[in-house]
Structure 1
Amino acid sequence: MSLKTFVKISTINNLSDARYCAGMYVNLMGFSLEENNGNYISPEKFKEITDWLSGLEYVAEFEASHPDKILEIVKAYPGIGYLEIQEEIHLKMLVNSSYGLILKCKVEEVEEIEDLIAKSSSYADFGVTLHLVSDTLELNELTTSKIKELATKCQVLLGFGIDASTIEEVLESTQVKGISLEGGDEIKPGLKDFDALADILEVLELDN
């Protein structure tokens, strides 16, 4: 069994969600490693969860930590393969690390997607994946076309406007690398509970 697209699950903070998502063959599973975050996962909890899992890669998620601190923190989390950050200025200090890089971008205006398009070649050159999230944008014709343009120039994970009833259409129209959903206690706008996340994954399920 596999999924029709690449899937990242963010802010995992419990074993039941982690085991379900692993069983659905998601690609990346993200854990918040900043102690001031409500979904913070300690090294001990990370080991407790990941000891039960196999077949996927793990992402260390940060909001504002300095790269030096990030690289120090992840030493306590064996198995981390990716770093997700939100401060673009920190990318240049991490591009030579051994980790894959994901830049989480909150876009509230179409113009912000256009700004990312203008910088897309540098993201592609350094192997940076963009994780787009938004509280305000809808996937209308204009937004979708801009996301598609961006996705042709660098790797994009779409983290908003996702619904079980439209996910296949969205994937076709945007041509993104994949999607990002949230686990943990805080489900993203539009996902009322874990059942909604499960609905999306089940739509994406392929029988091999």
Structure 2
Amino acid sequence: MPLLLPVLVRGINNLSDARYCAGMGADGLIFTLDPSLPGAVDAATVKELAGWVAGVEIIGEFGGAMPVSEINRLVEECGLGRVLLRDSPQPVTGYSSLTVPVIMEIPQMVAYDGEYHRQAHKMFTSALPAGFELLTRALDSGPGASAGETYESMAGAAATTPLWLSGDFTPETLPALLTAVSPAGLVLQGGDEIKPGIRNFDELEALFEALEE
């Protein structure tokens, strides 16, 4: 079904999630392929699950410890269209030789503070393949901050570099967020099966329905 904007689902580790999210219109499924990260799956699992879905991009998620040569090998083995690089305490260097486009996850401070964002963008331009995009957690309008001020910060960052947002979205707040910020897309979170073949999709279903055109 057509959605208002691109949607990726992160943390895919079972067939129930893969088929459900693909059927609901997700543009991509993100598999954690770095064994040093929680919830990692192996290449065989990615290939098996990807074989059950069609029309969705397969994306691999990696931390800062895996060599670029190994990431590129997994890109080829698993047929990845992009990679998501998780925010890491290690410097972002050496990724320019990646063979597919990159979504780089960054902290909120880097995304929404103008000076930090400019410095980071300069660094990413030299360290990542051309056409990189960013991912960060959406800001909440907490005490002392209006929703308008919060959206303005996010919109400023999204206007500089394509910005994907993750977070605890709700169907009630999504319309205003999307209208005010115009992000590149949303990254939703997958989940575990209750037991093989059984999964509660209530939360994901509500979000997908709110995102229908």
Q: 1:84 to 1:2 in 2, by over 3 A?
A: same
Identity %: 26
Aligned: 1:160 with 2:167: yes
Whether contact under 8 Å (1:116, 1:150) holds in the other structure is: yes
1:168: how far off?
1.4
Q: Structure 1: 5+ residue runs without aligned partners? A: 187-192
Specify the code of the residue in structure 2 equivalent to 1:58.
I
Structure-2 residue corresponding to 1:131: 135
Q: 1:147 to 1:118 in 2, by over 3 A?
A: farther
| 1:74-93 correspondence to structure 2 within 5 Å | 74-77=75-78, 79-85=79-85, 86-87=87-88, 89-90=91-92, 92-93=93-94
TM-score scaled by length of structure 2: 0.80
Q: 1:117 to 1:167 in 2, by over 3 A?
A: farther
Give distance in 1, aligned partners of 2:40 and 2:122: 33
| 1:179-198 correspondence to structure 2 within 5 Å | 179-185=186-192, 194-198=201-205
Relative to its length, the structure with more strand (as a share) is 1
Give distance in 1, aligned partners of 2:4 and 2:160: 21
Whether contact under 8 Å (2:14, 2:192) holds in the other structure is: no
* Poorly superposed stretches of 4+, deviation over 6 Å: none
Q: 1:34 to 1:97 in 2, by over 3 A?
A: closer
Higher mean alpha-carbon deviation, 93-102 vs 117-126, is at 117-126
Root-mean-square deviation over aligned CA pairs = 2.5
1:119: how far off?
3.8
Give distance in 1, aligned partners of 2:111 and 2:35: 30
Whether contact under 8 Å (1:121, 1:154) holds in the other structure is: no
TM-score scaled by length of structure 1: 0.82
Give distance in 2, aligned partners of 1:174 and 1:7: 15
Structure-2 residue corresponding to 1:113: 112
